[in-house]
Each structure stands twice: as structure tokens, then as C-alpha cells.
Amino acid sequence: MRILKLTEDTKKNLLENLLQRSPNSYKQYEEQVNEIIEQVRQNGDQGLFTYTEQFDGAKVTQETVKVTREEIEEGYRLTDPALIDVMKKSLENIKAYHEKQKQYSWFDSRPDGVMLGQKVTALARVGVYVPGGKAAYPSSVLMNVLPAKVAGVERIVMTTPCGKDGKVNPATLAAADLAGVDEIYKAGGAQAVAALAFGTESIPKVDKIVGPGNIYVALAKKAVFGHVSIDSIAGPSEILVLADEKANPRYAAADLLSQAEHDELASAILITDSEKLAEQVSLEVERFTAELSRKEIIEKSLENYGYILVAKDMEEAVETANEIASEHLEILTERPFETMMKIRNAGAIFLGEYASEPLGDYFAGPNHVLPTNGTAKFFSPLSVDDFIKKSSIISYSREALEPIYQDIVQFAASEQLTAHANSIKVRFEEK
């Protein structure tokens, strides 16, 4: 990995380089995505099935688009029983963590007849997009579905691409059933997002779409936002490791590579105040990469978006980490909790040398759907909050309104909204 001294120019160039990975930088695909969405919106199943055959090579019909109970049972049989057991353990951890995020309706009343409150309601229908193709991500199924279940969503609809044989990855089906998905459909890409956003003869329209996907899925979610809600426009994965001279270089190197193997656009950055550690980590990265199965992807990722930055001190290192606002932030310092208190921007924070990033991806419980491309400055991880909405409650008695009604009339009149004023005034007309 390249080792650079951290300067203002280094920081500026790095931030500009990372932003190139944003889905907003791929406008050349928007026209094609918009065409797909419009065709599915206008032609429903016909458009969906045409694109499924074109892009996935699968001939799907109204009779076969929905995954059957028999197919789910087959998924269980074809999935390693040991993996099923692990998914069940992971599921319990994820569920327990998200249970603590639940919000409840509340009401506050006063003796004069005023009652104010907030009504919390779960979304009625949510669509979960799960990537398919060569890789399967049952962990993503659990992370997207379980917060919705905890929130109380009535109907969870999942779409995922099938193979040319019309079959869905068995582990994906098993994870979906364990998590409590209500319906699963064989559809992927922008066409699946369009089907969820507008509905077809086979796939119901939902209120919100969540889940990761390729650039076509990301741009499709962006395009349908407003017709439905979405979780976020996810970019490529990223990790930032903050480490001092006490850090174990093998741990730091292994953790950087855990994200670099995702994608050629993935970002892996180490910031340290120790030149010695920087050299050691770079050497360990070379050793690990030579023996890892996704060597070519890792090498490309590190070539494009891999950095080791040497800061003058940990204060400068922390300041830079806050500016990058990484999706995953590992703190490998002598006092990780003390360092963590200075962090403002990060999707998920991993403290200490035994809390490596894959722990969060698969098992600990906090959600692994996280803000990317610097959006951790204003976005949060996927949570139960993403699957509820809130309504304000207002109730006043005549006795409570009478002392203040003229204030409201004056406020409305100042904005020249006489009908607003009259709506209050009419209640106190002399009879």
C-alpha cells in the first residue's frame, strides 16, 4: 500500500478521489435506468419479465415469479446445516440489538384540557432488495429484514435475482424465511426496484425500499425516491483504521483487506502517527494479499483507493478521520474508548483489537447497512427508525383555547391568511 505523509494537499486529494466512487458520479447510466423504470411502470409484469430475461437470462412468468414454499424448503435442504445454525445465532443478536431501538407512542395531558402527543406507526409494506448473481449475502437479508420485523411492518416483500435456471440462491432463501419475509420474488436490478416502487400484476407496490445493489439498483432507488421512501444511495464499501504505535500490524492489515476484497471500488485507509507501524502494515498487506482468494480485486482496490497516511500526531489523525467520515471505523489505539469520544463522523465504530469489522458484518447485532461516501456526517445506520413514521397528536378544550385564540388570529393575520384566522375566530363568535 502507498504510504503518504498526511498534509492538507494529501487530505484534499484523497477526499476528491473517494468522492469519485459515489453513485452520483455515474450519470451515464441514468438514462438507461430511467428507461427501465418507465417500461416496468407502464407495462408491469411484461416489462419486468422482459428485462429479467435480457439481463439475467431467466424466463420468468406470472406462475413462476413468486418463490414457492417448496422452493424455500429446498433452500433449507441445500444449505449447510452449520450455516443455518450460525444464521440463527446471528439473527438473535441482531433482533436483540434492534429491540432496544423501538419507539412508542406518547401523550402528555394538562389539567386545562390540552393533550399533545406522538403516534408511532410501523410502515405497512416494505420492499427488501437482495443482490444475487455470483455471490450470495444472507447476512444482508438478516440486516435489512429484522429491523423491519422489530418495528412491526405488516408485509415484507423481498426481491432477488434468480439464475438462468430460475432458482434463487438457497442460503438467501433460508435466511429470508428465518428472518420472517412474507413474500419473495425472482427479480433483480433496476427492474425489481421499479416493480416495488409502482407495483405490477405480480409484485405489490411498497411504501419503502431498502437493501444494497449495484450501480443500476442504486440509481433506480434514487430515481423512484418520492414515489416511495428509500434507505439510502449506497456506495462501495470502505474502512478506516485509526492506529497508534501500540497496534498489532497484522490485525490492522487483515482488517484493511476485509473491505478491499469486496469490490475494486472499495476503500481501505490506515491513519497512524507511527512511521514504523505504517511500514509494518504495508508489509503485512503484501503478505496477506499474496495468499488470499480475491487477490486481483484486492490489488485493484488498494491501487485505486488504498492509503496509509502518517499523521504528525493522533489529534491530526482523528481530525482527518472525521473529515473522511468512513462507513467502518476501527480504533486500534492504546486507549480506544478515549479516542472514540473524539469521533463525530462514522457509520460504525469498532473499539479495540478484538472488534474487527467482520464481527459487525455478521454477528454482533448492530446493523451493517451503513452510510458511505462521507454521508456518515449526516446519516445513520439502518435501524428500527427507518421502518416507522410518526404522527403528531393535538387536542385542546375550549377552556384551553380561549385564552390564546386571539394570539393565533394575530399570527395568521400577519401572514395574510384570513381563512386560518377565521378557523380559530369562528369558535368564539357571540351567539
Alpha-carbon distance 289 to 180, whole Å? 38
pLDDT at 150 over 80: yes
Q: Which of 71, 284, 327, 357 is catalytic?
A: 327
How far, in Å, are 21, 211, 305, 326, 394 from residue 9 at the CA level? 20, 36, 16, 19, 54
pLDDT at 235 over 90: no
* Inter-residue contact 265 to 297 (CB < 8 Å): no
Quickly count: other Cβ atoms within 10 Å of residue 109's Cβ: 11
28 CB-near residues (< 8 Å, 6+ apart): none
Alpha-carbon distance 263 to 223, whole Å? 24
The reply to whether 31 belongs to the active site is no
Residue range 336-364, pLDDT digits in tens:
999 999 999 999 999 999 999 999 999 99
* Inter-residue contact 115 to 393 (CB < 8 Å): yes
The pLDDT assigned to 18 comes to 87
Q: Which of 98, 262, 328, 368 is catalytic?
A: 328
396-414 mean pLDDT? 96
The reply to whether 328 belongs to the active site is yes
The pLDDT assigned to 133 comes to 66
Quickly count: other Cβ atoms within 10 Å of residue 425's Cβ: 16
- Strand arrangement, sheet containing 125-129: 183-186, 155-160, 125-129, 208-210, 229-230
* Inter-residue contact 173 to 83 (CB < 8 Å): no
Alpha-carbon distance 243 to 226, whole Å? 42
pLDDT at 22 over 80: no
* Inter-residue contact 228 to 221 (CB < 8 Å): no
Q: Please state which of the ranges 50-54, 211-215, 377-381 shows the lowest mean pLDDT.
A: 211-215
Q: Where does the pLDDT of residue 234 fall: very low under 50, low under 70, confident under 90, or very high at 90 and above?
A: confident
Q: Mean pLDDT score of the chain, rounded to an integer?
A: 95
Total-model pTM: 0.92
Chain CA centroid to CA 107, Å:
32
